[in-house]
Amino acid sequence: MLIDWCAHPVAHLSTTKLGCRPSHPRGDRRLHAELPRHISETYGMIDETGQFLTGYLLCRICYEKEYAIYNATKSHQQNMGEYGGEVMDVDDENTENPRQLHSTTNDLSMADYQMNEKLESSTPESFTGSEDSDDSEHGYRQQQAKHILNKVFQALSITPILDTRNTGALKRDVTRAIQGIRKLADELCHVPSTKTLKSNVTLLTTEENEPLIDGLKRLFDSSDYDDQVRLLTLSPPTWGRVQIENFFFCNEWQSRRTLEIRGSFGILATPTNFSGNPRINPLLVDEIQAFYQEDIISRQTSNKKDVIHVKKQPIPVRFMNFTVGQAYAAFLKKLKDRDSLESVSRGMFYSLKPKCVKILTPQDVRLL
């Protein structure tokens, strides 16, 4: 029985059609009139009639990907026709205006599939499954990455890659390309440019950004509450409360306070409490709630069904062994023994009592 395999020219080079379990996918999608012409122009795979055979079939993944690339290319050509194909110069140092972005966009959108005749001729035969497939595949991917980066550099008027051993120059060029792409995106989204650094400052590479951000997070974790609020004001102005919480893993009140301080006093402003009562430390709040649930202060009920639900979670009820005044005095003595500067009033101490801790002992519980 004749099997209809996927006829994509370069998508399944490392697969096989032989054996009891062939890895090459089967074709189940027929091509319309325009898609074969697009594939033949892209990969240069033609038959006797001058184009990719219209009777060939593609698998679902190849069909959907090629169809999406075809639609994106078609819409891009229409947009370039409407606006005259003008391309903004990204590099301020170069005065040349690159008008090759139209042809480059098609090559970059097909980066997963496309390797031109230059790369196909250099691909070793061992890539299809011999013992040296790992080394040849690594070399193939290096050539493909170099080819794609040169296309990007050509569109952004950056010197192409000549020697991959010069990693310092390569990282600098990649950083310039990232900055250029961001600049194009800002121009497209009409984002005003706000320069807070001097123009002669050397741009940081991606490898330098990671330890810098990681150090900022470590400094945030080791700081106290007020200093954490000050550090949070260094977050980007476009970030909201949720983004600040997800990035620094802070609580909701710190992010809200940060937005208020930054909007009123700017970055690195010291938070000031203008109310009559001073703010209580959140760590002290957690310590008080844990103090109520200690076995010396309260005991758990013997009735298994005597529970309360907090956020849909059953928590056993506990009964205090002392009065609130006695527990308050014991907590102040605990703070004094460790030479802590924290303090809490009796009313605040009582209001922080967890819901699962009861003061009165029920009559049906027998104390032994």
Q: Are residues 27 and 40 in the same domain?
A: yes
Q: What six digits make up the tokens of 1?
A: 């029985």
Average pLDDT over residues 29-48: 70
Examine the pLDDT at 341 and tell me if it is beyond 80.
no
CB under 8 A, 24+ apart: contacts of 171-174 = 171/205, 171/206, 171/207, 172/203, 172/205, 174/149, 174/205, 174/206
**Single residue among 85, 116, 138 that ends a domain in this structure:** 85
Q: Are residues 71 and 30 in the same domain?
A: yes
Burial code (b: 16+ CB inside 10 Å, e: under 16) for 200-217 equals eeeeeeeeeeeeeeeeee
- Phi, then psi, of 263 in degrees rounded to 5: -70, -25
Name residue 351's amino acid.
S
| Band (97; pLDDT cuts 50, 70, 90) | very low
Distance CA 199, CA 277 (A): 47
| Band (361; pLDDT cuts 50, 70, 90) | low
Kindly list the distances between the CA atom of residue 214 and the CA atoms of 210, 217, 229, 245, in Å, as whole numbers in the listed order.
6, 5, 18, 16
Examine the pLDDT at 344 and tell me if it is beyond 80.
yes
Q: Number of structural domains, the chain? A: 4
110 is a domain residue: yes
Distance CA 291, CA 287 (A): 6
Q: What six digits make up the tokens of 5?
A: 């395999």
97 is a domain residue: yes
Mean pLDDT lowest among 44-48, 66-70, 154-158, 295-299: 44-48
Range of the domain at 75: 1-85
Q: Are residues 102 and 66 in the same domain?
A: no
Examine the pLDDT at 91 and tell me if it is beyond 60.
no
Q: Are residues 39 and 103 in the same domain?
A: no
Q: What is the dihedral of CA 65, 66, 71, 73, to 10 degrees?
A: 110
Distance CA 349, CA 285 (A): 9
Q: What is the pLDDT of residue 123?
A: 45
Helix axes 60-83 and 101-109, enclosed angle (nearest 10):
170
| Average pLDDT score, the chain | 76
| Band (332; pLDDT cuts 50, 70, 90) | very high
Q: What six digits make up the tokens of 306?
A: 């005597």
More confident residue, 233 or 198: 233
Q: What is the pLDDT of residue 100?
A: 46
Q: What is the pLDDT of residue 276?
A: 60
More confident residue, 199 or 238: 238
CB atoms within 10 A of CB 257: 20
Examine the pLDDT at 107 and tell me if it is beyond 70.
no
206 is a domain residue: no
Examine the pLDDT at 78 and tell me if it is beyond 60.
yes
Q: What is the pLDDT of residue 328?
A: 93
**Single residue among 265, 299, 324 that ends a domain in this structure:** 265
Q: Are residues 257 and 228 in the same domain?
A: yes
Burial class (CB in 10 A: 0-12, 13-18, 19+), 345: exposed
Query: Please, which residues bridge with residue 58 across strands?
Result: 29
Percent above pLDDT 90 for the chain: 13
More confident residue, 352 or 339: 352
Q: Are residues 74 and 63 in the same domain?
A: yes
346 is a domain residue: yes
Q: Are residues 188 and 98 in the same domain?
A: yes
Q: Are residues 136 and 226 in the same domain?
A: no
Q: Are residues 181 and 153 in the same domain?
A: yes
Residues 265-324: tens digit of each pLDDT: 888 888 776 666 667 788 889 999 999 999 999 988 888 888 888 888 888 999 998 899
**Single residue among 138, 159, 192 that ends a domain in this structure:** 192
289 is a domain residue: yes
Q: Are residues 81 and 92 in the same domain?
A: no
Q: Are residues 257 and 289 in the same domain?
A: no
| Band (1; pLDDT cuts 50, 70, 90) | low
Q: What is the pLDDT of residue 44?
A: 61
In this structure, are strands 307-310 and 29-30 parallel, antiparallel, or unpaired? unpaired
Examine the pLDDT at 88 and tell me if it is beyond 80.
no
366 is a domain residue: no
Q: Are residues 81 and 96 in the same domain?
A: no
333 is a domain residue: yes
What's the sign of the alpha-carbon dihedral 309, 310, 313, 316? negative
274 is a domain residue: no
